[in-house]
Amino acid sequence: MSTQRLRNEDFHDYSSTDVSPEETPSEGLGNFSPGSYQRLGESNSTTWFQTLIHLLKGNIGTGLLGLPLAVKNAGLLLGPLSLLVIGIVAVHCMGILVKCARHLCHRLNKPFLDYGDTVMYGLECSPSAWVRSHSHWGRRIVDFFLIVTQLGFCCVYFVFLADNFKQVIEAANGTTTDCHNNETVVLMPTMDSRLYMLAFLPFLALLTFIRNLRILSIFSLLANVSMLVSLVTIYQFIVQSIPDPSHLPLVAPWKTYPLFFGTAIFAFEGIGVVLPLENKMKDSQKFPFILYFGMAIITALYISLGSLGYLQFGANIKGSITLNLPNCWLYQSVKLLYSIGIFFTYALQFYVAAEIIIPVIDSRVPEPYKMMVDLCVRTAMVCITCVLAVLIPRLDLVISLVGSVSSSALALIIPPLLEVTTYYSEGMSPLTIIKDVLISILGFVGFVVGTYESLCELIQPSHGEISTNSTSAFL
């Protein structure tokens, strides 16, 4: 799932974040007007290459680092094959969303629709009078899952930061410049990882007080550079001296497969980025090709890192592959560098949820108190994500739970149903309806089973998984 997202500058699409508008978020909401949209080919349009870069940025985040453990939960053969299938289905659902949005824009004579409005207007096309009368719930459901997804990302960031900083500090005395000597490192015990989360809390709260996306875009650039350098270094290590994989299972026990599904769909949940990108592209007719080409690169990246990471570390793979890197200053700096990128990305992911929740609260507050209430609500939201991270301190389970609960709904369940409601009255082939129903059922089954298994693993960890996310040093 994605950590930086392109946001349409004129239409406030809460499913995307990576852009720098002239006004602050609160000012933008005040100036909102359906007639002010900039449609395809107009000002601030992006080239095909810029669109491709934004698509890649919007889909690469912390979920990528958890994929080696996901492959372990599925098996060395079944894991990569399942990633390929989920990637194909997720990209197909992205294409469905773009197609439905274009169709509804043309029918309603609107220049642009975001994810929530596309679902709302799609429900208005339903042959059922009851569904049409409750179409506004489509927007609310999408907003709800966006809030859960974005705050879930923020919970993941708390756990990621705590685990990586804890490991670096505990192994500081044994850190060397020799990255090829696999000696056991005796850790210097420090405080619990939950205390590290609390230590990050005030700094992240202050970061979220920045309400102007133009300023946040600077932090976004720093985050992108940090994570790119870290990712290249990680690849450089895992391709060296891969151990014999004969002892690794081709197919893992079925009980751990739902955990794989949650992590995989968490990584692929970049569907919120596609409509703003399509809207801002100069030549929108090329967007489907850019979408499929970019997602093919992302799917190949996911499969390669997941497979190579599992091959390199085997059963010892942890919730984030950074926690398996050797105890030398080069790879310790990689952990810190990626953590810096995640730290700044927190504000961008938080922005989406804040822009849905805070305007609703501010509208009920007298003008003199709006700023104070705004800051208090932001602080409370950051505290909520911290508390949830403290309650679920295992990185792999947080990722799987967020992916199962919200990402499956946004990426797999809603788009196929949207296609049915949008086109059913105009005539659809039975095969298309069956295909859409099967995809939605797949997403719903993953939602239920993945959530259930994540909660069961959280309540009663299985033997051998308790230390999956421990921060012991690399041997």
User: Six-digit token pair at 333?
Assistant: 């700096």
Query: Is residue 281 classed as helix, strand or coil in its secondary structure?
Result: strand
User: Six-digit token pair at 463?
Assistant: 């033997």
User: Six-digit token pair at 131?
Assistant: 């569904």
* pTM for this entry: 0.79
Q: What is the CA radius of gyration of the chain?
A: 22
Q: Which residues pair with 281 in a beta bridge?
A: 46
Burial class (CB in 10 A: 0-12, 13-18, 19+), 137: middle
Instruction: Check residue 190 and give its pLDDT.
Output: 65
Residue-wise burial string across 376-409, b where 16 or more C-beta atoms lie within 10 A, e elsewhere: ebbbebbeebbebbbebbbbbbbbbbbbbbbbbb
CB-based contacts of 466, cutoff 8 Å, min separation 6: none
Instruction: Check residue 415 and give its pLDDT.
Output: 94
Instruction: Give me the helices (H) in 274-320, please.
Output: 274-280, 287-313
What whole-number distance in Å separates Cα of residue 164 and Cα of residue 170? Answer: 10
3-state secondary structure string, 405-473? Answer: HHHHHHHHHHHHHHHHHHHHHHCCCHHHHHHHHHHHHHHHHHHHHHHHHHHHHHHCCCCCCCCCCCCCC
Residue with tokens 């698509």: 55
End-to-end CA distance of the chain: 30
Q: Largest alpha-carbon pair distance within the chain?
A: 69
Query: Is residue 176 classed as helix, strand or coil in its secondary structure?
Result: strand
Tens digit of pLDDT at every position of the chain (475 positions): 443 333 333 334 444 444 433 333 333 333 333 333 334 444 457 788 888 887 887 777 778 889 999 999 999 999 999 999 999 999 999 999 999 999 999 988 888 888 989 999 999 988 888 988 999 999 999 999 989 988 988 998 999 999 888 888 887 766 556 666 544 455 566 678 889 999 999 999 998 998 776 777 677 777 778 888 888 999 999 998 888 888 899 999 988 999 999 999 988 877 877 888 888 888 888 888 999 999 999 999 999 999 999 999 998 898 889 888 888 888 888 888 888 888 888 887 888 888 889 989 988 888 888 899 999 999 999 999 999 999 888 888 888 888 888 889 999 999 999 999 999 888 889 999 999 999 999 999 999 999 998 888 888 776 444 444 433 333 3
Q: What are phi and psi of 176, to 5 degrees?
A: -125, 180
Q: Amino acid letter at 63?
A: G
